[in-house]
Amino acid sequence: MSVGDFALMRHELLLTAVALIILAAEIFTSSKNRRSISVLAVTAYAIITVVGFLPSPSGSLFGNMYIADKTRLIMKNILNIGALLVLIQSLTWLDKEENRDRVSEYFILLISTLVGMNFMISAGHFLMFYIGLELATIPVAALAAYERYNNKSAEAGIKLILISALSSGVLLYGLAMIYGATGTLYFEETARLFRNNNLQILGFIFFFSGMAFKISIVPFHLWTADVYEGAPVNITSYLSVISKGAAIFIFLIVLFTVFPVIMATWQKAIYVTSVLTMTIGNLFAIRQQNLKRFLAFSSISQAGYILLGIIGGNATGMASVIYYVLVYIFSNLGAFGVVAAIANKTGKENLNDYNGLYHTNPGLSLVMTLSMFSLAGIPPVAGFFGKFFLFTAAAEKGYYLLVTIAVLNTIISLYYYLLVVKAMFINASESPVERFKSDFSTKFALGICVAGIFITGFASSVFEAIRNFSFGI
């Protein structure tokens, strides 16, 4: 391997280097200076996030098992931005007495998942894809159970590892069928040898089902709310945004590059699952009082909208999916940032606890309102443009009924998102959340989220830059 080859893998290598630096800091730092590890980790990650945007060559490694191109680079950079925001939001939580002895553990586990996600996105071979998938999945289960003395957190970790094992097994069984029918696991070769026979179709169904578990597509979503509620707020935000975003990216790549021959088959599957995911996610979100469960069903419904961008199989659809994930990162992390800030100070996570929040904490209320508006798709914030591009991509391929159903579901989602706004600004409370001052890291992360919601919406160049590197079938 030459130096240029290493440049193709810069994301994975830099992440590994940061993990090793954190491990060294853990060894040589005294227990009194644990916060310095957090500062070091966030600073190092911020540097590699910036480095990720530097020009990079395209190419392949390991016999085309690893592929680097502009589209995958954009996907990785989007995940880096989201992960950086999660890390910044986590600083206050990690500074709590019960977490100070496990700070390095948190960062190393989280960075390990990102290494796996990057390998998964750059995969040109199903073996590379599967190794990346497992590397991204197993540490997340440990993170979900991070608060080991909290029964709900331990339960979330167990549920996540069990459902991950089940979904990975189903997916691996599907890949075995595809390999048996084609004799190869390379993406390009599999696409060339795919003949639409029964064994290959069955293999695809198993693959689709396994990925549906990862993305929380209905009816493979039943684990989501329980895991999101039990995991620490910052881990929940990571699961909801980064982990799901990576799964969506690789799902998009595999469908477009490996299975174009059976496009008509997976379009039908996506059509049905999109309708179910949007509708059920929205209806169940209305009934939730715990805000983590509320945002869990919200994320399920958002996955349904994202499928609208995939179903057409065109470059506009790919661009709209990538753009929407970027918008979703800022919107969802803005909401989770407020939930985390209040939970860290008061331990309150229920909707009724937010009654009268504007009168005591107007800044947090405004950030939450903006995030809710963006998730609902209310103009002129970024969420509106994100949904507009998704609907446009589906409409270009003639899926007018599906777009109509999506618009109706958007109206339903507007109702329950406004319930949060109503609680903060209109509902009265005898014991509202007390006034408190957020620390710098929380303010900084929320500020970036607010800026991202506006900039990604009003700067048309963002979508155009993504579309320039997108491709279709």
- Whether 1 shows a pLDDT value over 60: the answer reads no
| Percent of the chain with pLDDT strictly greater than 70 | 98
* pLDDT mean across residues, the chain: 89
pLDDT in the model for residue 374? 93
Mean pLDDT of 393-412: 93
Summarize the confidence of residues 28-55 as an average pLDDT.
85
State residue 356's pLDDT score: 87
Phi, psi of 470 (to 5 degrees): -90, 160
Distance CA 87, CA 96 (A): 15
3-state SS class at 319: helix
Long-range CB pairs of 175-182, under 8 A, 24+ apart, other chains included: 175/126, 175/130, 175/203, 175/206, 175/207, 176/203, 177/202, 177/203, 177/206, 178/126, 178/203, 178/204, 178/207, 179/126
Region 287-304: mean pLDDT is 90
For 237-253, the pLDDT digits (tens) are: 898 889 899 999 999 99
Report which secondary-structure segment, H or E, holds 61: strand 59-61
Mean pLDDT in residue range 330-358: 89
Cα atoms in the 13 Å half-sphere on the side-chain side of 180: 14
How would you label 231-258 residue by residue, b for 16+ Cβ within 10 Å and e otherwise?
A: bbbbbbbbbbbbbbbbbbbbbbbbbbbb
Per-residue pLDDT at 437: 86
Q: Are 331 and 375 in contact (CB under 8 A)?
A: yes
The pLDDT of residue 97 is 77
Q: What pLDDT digit, counting tens, does each position of 361-372 carry? A: 889 999 999 999
The 10s digit of each residue's pLDDT in 263-293 is 988 999 999 999 999 999 999 999 888 888 9
pLDDT of residue 96: 81
Q: Contact at 8 Å (CB) between 187 and 164? A: no
pLDDT > 90 in the chain, percent: 51
Please report the pLDDT score of residue 327 as a whole number. Answer: 94
Can you give the pLDDT at residue 4?
A: 64
pLDDT of residue 26: 83
Q: What angle do CA 259, 262, 266 make, to 5 degrees?
A: 85
pLDDT at residue 2 tops 70: no
pTM of the model: 0.94
Residue 204 near residue 263, CB atoms below 8 Å: no
Tens-place pLDDT, residues 185-209? 999 999 998 887 888 889 999 999 9
Contact between residue 393 and residue 320 where contact means Cβ atoms under 8 Å apart:
yes
| pLDDT confidence of residue 366 | 94
Give the pLDDT confidence score for residue 79 in this predicted structure: 93
The pLDDT tens digits of the residues spanning 133-168 come to: 999 988 988 888 888 777 888 888 888 888 888 999
Residue in 342, 334, 354, 340 with CA at minimum distance from that of residue 228: 340
pLDDT classification of 6: cutoffs 50, 70, 90: confident
